[in-house]
A = this chain, B = another copy of it.
């Protein structure tokens, strides 16, 4: 067994002899594949101290130089993609294509961060009063922290620290302890690219590490992505400690299928959106709302046919389209929801519980599952299952579909399938959801826009990555300047000798 995954502090891999250790599993086999060190408060404080010490010099490194270090980082990530993706698949379980996809999305956030000389431009006003000029600068905060989830072990860290670093901050990242290797590797690659020691630190850990980050006075801001209960805890705790916070939580994303939709396109899109990464995505579509029975019947028929050929297997197998769930407890929780759905009266069209992956009987595999006739009071409708379970709900009209979506506690993503311009405009205008697709099932904004849900999917006012991240990771400073008269211009008047 390999060395436990430890921490990256001040440019060094740091391991503590007395550290608590936790098992890391291979979800495709159910076997323990390694250990991760859980940082003590002292270890996290050491990382914070390293970040604080590195701040002044990094802050004064001119933005275009910071951008060039990030550009090198981008190139190294591309060159070492195989290695990173292997770490993702080994610990998270997702298939290689999914790992590639998440890494590519993450790299695009690094690419955006290289635009920082443009993005940091402040506003300059001449003559706000007579001979008074005023301008706003956007200065870095100091030490900032990121706490990231298991489901995108590479992408979500890359949403955060490249933008934070580009703005001149130093960073302490605490990735998920369930699949910690990818983030640590990425941190090491950043240092290779020229990020100075202490500017980026990675600590692995659990609640002790999190609470240290939330309460230490030196930490200026916290970015979090995870489930809603934890997001609320993070938001309340870090706020009570005076910090700025953005905390992204859970989701229950609905797709609306209108009678005029291109159904083949919609089905193909839903397959990826519902079952991709085993449904463990905060932007996964977990509810399909069919408007009218005709489209509902056709949709369910096509989905069940297509599901029949979905290839489930270890992420390392080239043919696999969907891998295992992250852990045994999560597997059991998801399977429990399928049981509950049946008990609550939903029609189980495709039952993923029967799946067996030969040779991987201890792996956390659940087949793609499809429910029809789901209704809003069922737990499979109300809760975020975070597994390969798609619920079809039937509605009489677009308005009814929208009322359903707006009544749900989450408001992360949604989409509509239609050809009709008016339906799309009405939906996108009024729906209380932050990211909206029109015939785009996973409307994740590109890296140069920002990511954020509404309602209980996001706590805070600024979204993740993109332009909002630049605002989040900087503090506005406004200068008002007037120069006194009587200086060298007016006093230096020379009469030349004849």
Contacts and interface: CB of A to CB of B under 8 A. Distances in A.
Interface of A: 60, 62-64, 67, 71, 75, 108, 111-112, 114-115, 117-137, 221, 232, 235-236, 239-240, 242, 244-245, 258-262, 265, 291-293, 394, 396-399, 418-429, 433-440, 443-446, 448-452, 454, 456, 459-463, 467-468, 471-472, 475-490, 492-497
Given A62-B127, A128-B446, A421-B483, 12 more contacts: A115-B118, A118-B119, A123-B123, A221-B461, A398-B489, A420-B421, A421-B481, A422-B488, A425-B483, A428-B477, A437-B480, A461-B462
Given A120-B126, A125-B446, A449-B125, A494 B436 contact: no
A368 B121 CA distance: 39
Contact of A122 (B126, B240, B396): B126
Contacts of A439: 481-484
A121 B123 contact: yes
A425 to B, nearest CB: 5
Contact of A467 (B123, B137, B472): B123
Given A123-B449, A467-B123, A424 B421 contact: yes
Contacts of A419: 420-422, 483-484, 487-488
A130 B136 CA distance: 19
A434 to B, nearest CB: 6
A352 to B, nearest CB: 28
B461 A461 contact: yes
Contact of A258 (B235, B426, B492): B492
13 contacts: A115-B118, A117-B446, A121-B123, A121-B124, A128-B449, A133-B425, A419-B422, A419-B483, A420-B489, A428-B477, A434-B477, A438-B483, A468-B476
By secondary structure, the A interface counts as: mixed
B492 A397 contact: yes
B115 A436 contact: no
Contacts of A463: 476
Contacts of A131: 425
B476 A443 contact: no
A428 to B, nearest CB: 5
A489 B422 contact: yes
Contacts of A461: 221, 244, 460-462, 471-472
Contacts of A440: 132, 480-482
Contact of A449 (B262, B423, B449, B478): B478
A262 to B, nearest CB: 4
Given A136-B450, A489-B426, A396 B495 contact: yes
Given A123-B449, A125-B120, A484-B439, A423 B478 contact: no
A110 B485 CA distance: 33
A434 B477 CA distance: 5
Contacts of A460: 244, 461
Nearest to A424: B421
Contacts of A111: 64, 67
A452 B480 contact: no
Contacts of A480: 435-438, 440, 443-445
B423 A488 contact: yes
Contacts of A291: 492, 494
Contacts of A426: 489
